[in-house]
Amino acid sequence: MSDYLWFEGIPFPAIGFEKEILQEARDKFVIRDEDTVILTYPKSGTNWVIEMVCLIQTKGNPKWVQSVPVWDRSPWLETEEGYKILMKKEGPSLISSHLPFHLFPKSFFSSKAKVIYIIRNPRDILVSGYFFWCKTNLVKNPESLRTYFEWFLKGNGTTGDWKNHFTVAQAEAFDKVFKEKMAGFPTGLFPWE
């Protein structure tokens, strides 16, 4: 796994990321009250949600979505390029990130910013990630789905371990709220039943 940039025990692609930016994003970046953050584990549907949020922001007018690249409409906080864009941006920002919560900007926890956290079935993340990473030169090629599966289970996927993207307390709080919101649906519909 030497083809990665390791930061605080988490692997990131070696291209487009710098330790200094990851540290500065966590320690110094200011998330404002009016910002919206789309936070996901990689290959969880981030771009689909960015497209939907951008269309909501423009009241369904596709002109902005069709004329401005997704990385400019919702820059990735942890990447070199995205961080530079966000540092210059004025007004409300739509921010994308794959950072686990313990590496997320400290300023977020005292802001009133809105967060959209996307959770996707890990089997779908695994398959999508495998086919995506096999076609890029951003990380070490997994060579086989079995190899990628082993990396995934060890938490060596980009931005770390899927099951620990949330802290235990955050996962428990999410489960509690989710169960409350889903009360009344037919029994047997959810895996915790």
Is residue 165 flagged as an active site residue?
A: no
- Secondary structure tally for the chain: helices H, strands E: 8, 5
What are the angstrom distances between the C-alpha of 139 and each of 4, 90, 132, 136? 6, 33, 10, 7
Distance CA 49, CA 97 (A): 12
C-alpha–C-alpha distance, residues 1 and 171, integer Å: 28
Q: Which of 26, 43, 73, 98 is catalytic?
A: 98
SS3 1: coil
What residues act catalytically? 98
